[in-house]
Chains A and B, each alone.
Chain A
Amino acid sequence: MSSVVVSAQSVGKCYTIGHRSGDRAPTLRDALVRTAGRIIRASSDIAQGRAVVSGDEREDFWALKDVSFEIQAGDIVGLVGRNGAGKSTLLKILSRITDPSCGRIEIVGRVASLLEVGTGFHQELTGRENIFLNGAIMGMSSAEVRGKLDEIVDFAGIDRFLETPVKRYSNGMYVRLAFAVAAHLEPDILIVDEVLAVGDAGFRRKGLAKIQEASRAGRTVILVSHDMAVTTALCKSAIWLDGGLLRQIGPAAEVTRGYMMEATSPHGQFMSRLQGDGGRSFRILDVQIMDAAGDVRRMFSCDEGISVVIHYFVRRSVPHLRGGMEILREDDVLVMVSDSMDREHGTLSALKEGHGTIRIRIPERTLSPGDYRVSLNFSRADGLPDEDVDCQGHVAVFSLHDHLTSRGNARGGFFSLRLEWTSECEA
């Protein structure tokens, strides 16, 4: 028997955003006039009690609209959708960080959210002190933390460094400690956002096991991951958000299949500035797969070159930024790996602040016909903390068809390279 622990009815969230009309001011005089206009506008906004926005046109933007669902106790529910689909907004509403603009949500039990590991860690404090601080921030009492201290330290494997300030920790130790505290939370509803993207494979397995354990103990887990394999493996059911609307809800396998089959549609909306995680230094806004002519498609011929185009926004230049791409077959077999170090040394380390695109070209007749997924992974090559770098995981799908060779789509194996066959008669 099960009971509903989260019930959302027509939930919506509206943000007011500003647009800037026209180009940059061509002369100093124009710039002064524009600045004066902005100050006057901001003052009138303040006087009327409205939010001040940058730009000179305002617009209401619905990050989430009319979303209704129910979640049963003990379920692991996956939340899928593209960047800007409203996943983070929904999690923020569920974890009470922000209020919905309309609608109503009823939640039974204690909610704890892992929106990012290490939230509230203080660089100057020691590992032990940070365990208590972080525990309190996530809603554990000191008595609870004290009781689990040994377990947490053991899970993170940092017992020798317990009295060392965390600023001297390696990136791996830092992340492990942060996740260890989070993993020992015992809320009724646990909200997990992308924390599984951190750490090495062994640590990831530990994390996944912990989530399953929580579910077996009767806790409800709401999980956001860009990795469809993880979502399918862990979750009973899934919710697919698209453009702020609820697109599909049902068994996880069904929803993720639908989500993955959907073309990566070409509406590259720059939404990062709307959300809190827009504060990241490097953020991926959209990923498109296009042909040589620049048309965004999902299906290609083996005989055309295709490009993976990443639209990004750099807030602060990230030194030693490294990008990696993996192409996986439908059955999750890794087909190829490429990274930004393939060509020039440090292609991405000099990305300027602002919007831009990164283009990865896959030459014609490389991969054999079939369905593929593209997974992206950005990090800092110098090993410094890179939690402010967007790390996306699975981002796009495409399929290849072979029309021109006699074997066509029946060609197995990994490649569709046309090899040279020569013959020589010994006579």
Chain B
Amino acid sequence: MSGLLTFPLALLVVLVLCIAGYLLGRRRAVGRVKGDTRALHSRPVHHGWHVVMATLIPSFAVLVLWAFLQGLVSSVYLGTTVADDLPELALPESQREGLEDEEIAVREGARRELFLGNVRVLNEAIYGAISSDVISLPEIEAWDAAETDVGGELRSAGQIAPIGVTPAMQEAALKLYGFERTLSAIGPLLVMLLAAIGFIWALSRIDGDFRARNVVERWVMGLLIFASTVAILTTLAILAAVTFPSITFFREYGLFDFLFGLTWAPAGDTVGVPEGPGGEYESLLGFLPLIWGTLYISLVALLVATPLGLLAAIYLSEFADRRVRAWVKPALEVLAGVPTIVYGLFALVTIGPFLQAVVGTTIMPNTVSVMTAGVVMGMMLVPFVSSLSDDVINAVPQAMRDGSLGLGATPSETITKVILPAALPGIVGAVVLAASRAIGETMIVVLAAGALSNVQGLEPNPFGAVVTVTTRIVAVLTGEASGFDSIDVLAVFALAFTLFFITLALNLLAQRIVRRYREQYE
């Protein structure tokens, strides 16, 4: 984002224009009617704001767009400057033997990508070296890549630069550098120009009859509506992000093989280039072992969280006196506010070794296991279950309690025989929500469930290590993937796809149950 560094100046100019515009707009509005503000259709403030908006909105929109488009434009430029017949891009004769034309094309494409990547890195290095005043542009232009080690020079100037820079590479990088300099000079200029035009135009419109208030209010309304569509845009973006790569993956790998495969063993095939002997992918990407691990841990977590959370909620809402509540509720909130990575580390360094000491190393060879992650995740979910249960228990009308107590039932009988049956749908909703959380939980399982990259079959031992959906997502996407070119990366998006829809379904189900339940007592 080299070009952005001059945008702060443009921003500053826009800001100054805004403040000046506000003050001038007000002043001018008053001046137009010779101080008799009653002759104005809108208050002077509105005229001020009108100028601010005319200055700010177009220029700011261009600024944001520019920041995003700059990269795209320069990459298109780079694509067009690098000629296809460069000798560096051709596959050497020695490697062409026995290859079909299609494969040569794929490999030459990869060489081109590599070349372009190197040009980009070189460009960044040149920019870095120049902006830190170590080397000047003419100096770099003077280097002859055939004789000077351009990469080495830049590395010794503290930059990250490719090895084996060729003259063509140097030339392309310098062209790209020049183009980007021009682009990033035009951008801020355009922004400032737009701001100035808006500023002058808005000031010129000020008049006694000008309905500044209506214009301002219409724009504010538009901005409010835009802001509230962010949630929809986010949802759509998430949907697109998980769906498109998944579709490619299912088409390439096969939906059936994914859903019912019992082995997860990524091998790093490139998309479209299966490397197995029979033309199939060498990567084995079966979903079952991962979802098994996820559900196994979630089950343990729910078995811990549901009874504890429910009993705690019952005790707090029906038995505890005010002083106990005043202490226990904040303690539960503390538990709920602890970041999950803290739980993950706790599971790893305290609970895992403890469990291993209790059950022995024959049953539990590692400190990471289903139980390690499940027990801690269960404890994490206790406050969640208890506060949701507390809500539904309190939503049972007092008339039910009175009715039962009035018949001579003890408080416990009232809870077990009247309140709990009445609250059951709401409690089920709470547990479903907790299940959705458990399935989507990441950091605890990443640290405490196991980290194998290859798994085969379904681990039955609750003290054995498993791999979960979220663990695999983190493992692959934290790595150095830079595009959707590996089948393993696509597979991870298929995992994300299933994760998103499973949790979405559970959430919708829980919301439905809880809404029905609340309507019953309204």
Question: Is chain B found bound to chain A in the same assembly?
Answer: no
